[in-house]
Copies of this chain bind each other. A is one copy, B any other.
Amino acid sequence: AKSDDDTDGITICELSAHRKVTVRSFKGKVFVDIREFYNKDGKELPGKKGISLSIDQWEVLRDNIEEIDRAVKESD
C-alpha cells in the first residue's frame, strides 16, 4: 500500500551482528537500505556506513546476482 509516511522500515535479514538489509518508505518512495547500525541507549540506530537503493537500483542489483556470485567465486 502506498503511504507518504516515513517508516523505520522492516528488517529483511541481518548480514552480520550490526549490518542489516531493511526495506523502508521515505516520502512515498521505497528504498532497500544495506546499512550498519550502532547501539545507543539500547536502541539500534542507522549509522553512516551503508547505501540506500531506489527500486530501480535494487532491480539492477537483483538482476545481476548470478554475475556477482560468479565473480566472487572466481576471485576467491
Taking Cβ atoms with an 8 Å cutoff, the residues of A that contact B are 2, 10, 12-16, 19, 21, 23-25, 30, 32, 34-36, 48-51, 53-58, 60-65, 67-69, 71-72, 75-76
Contacts and interface: CB of A to CB of B under 8 A. Distances in A.
Contact of A75 (B25, B50, B68): B25
A61 B2 contact: no
Per DSSP, chain A at the interface is strand
Nearest to A35: B51
Given A13-B61, A19-B51, 16 more contacts: A10-B71, A12-B64, A12-B67, A15-B56, A16-B57, A21-B61, A21-B68, A34-B34, A34-B51, A34-B53, A36-B51, A48-B48, A49-B51, A50-B51, A58-B72, A62-B69
